[in-house]
Amino acid sequence: MTGPGPLAGLRVLEVGHILAGPYATMLLADLGADVIKLEPPGGDLSRQVSDAYFASLNRGKRSVRLDLATPVGQERLHGLVRDADALLVNLKPSAIHRFGLTYEALKPWNERLVCVALTGWGMDAGDEPAFDYVVQAATGVAALTGDPNGPPALPGYSSVDNSAGLAAALGLLAQVVSGRGGQMEVCLRDVMLSQLNYHAAAWLNAGAVPRRLGGAHAYYVPAQLFPTAEGHLALFITHDGFWRSFATEAGIEGHGTMAERAAHREEVIAAVTKALAADTATGWESRLRPLGVAAAAVRTLPQALAEAPEMVVEAGGHRLVGSPFRSAAHQPSYGPPPGLGEHGDLV
Residue-wise pLDDT for 148-171, tens only, equals: 999 999 999 999 999 999 999 999
Active site residue: 34, 44, 161, 279, which one? 161
DSSP label at residue 52? H
Helix H or strand E segment including 117: strand 114-119
Beta pairing partners, 86 = 12, 114
Residue-wise pLDDT for 42-81, tens only, equals: 999 999 999 999 999 999 999 999 999 999 999 999 999 9
Does 1 have pLDDT greater than 80?
no
* CA–CA distance, 217 with 227 (Å, rounded to integer): 16
Q: What is the dihedral of CA 161, 164, 166, 167, to 10 degrees?
A: 180
Residue type, 114: V
Contact (Cβ atoms closer than 8 angstroms) between residue 64 and residue 339: no
Closest CA to 336 of 31, 41, 59, 82: 59
* pTM beyond cutoff 0.85: yes
* Domains within the chain, CATH numbers bracketed: 11-195+311-346 (3.40.50.10540), 223-227+232-297 (no CATH)
Residues composing the chain:
347
* CA–CA distance, 152 with 149 (Å, rounded to integer): 9
- Give the pLDDT confidence score for residue 330 in this predicted structure: 87
Q: Tell me whether strands 312-315 and 318-321 are parallel, antiparallel or unpaired.
A: antiparallel
161 catalytic residue (yes or no): yes
Could you give the residue ranges of the DSSP H alpha helices within 7-119?
Answer: 20-30, 51-58, 71-82, 93-98, 103-106
Closest CA to 134 of 159, 113, 166, 111: 159
* CA–CA distance, 116 with 182 (Å, rounded to integer): 9
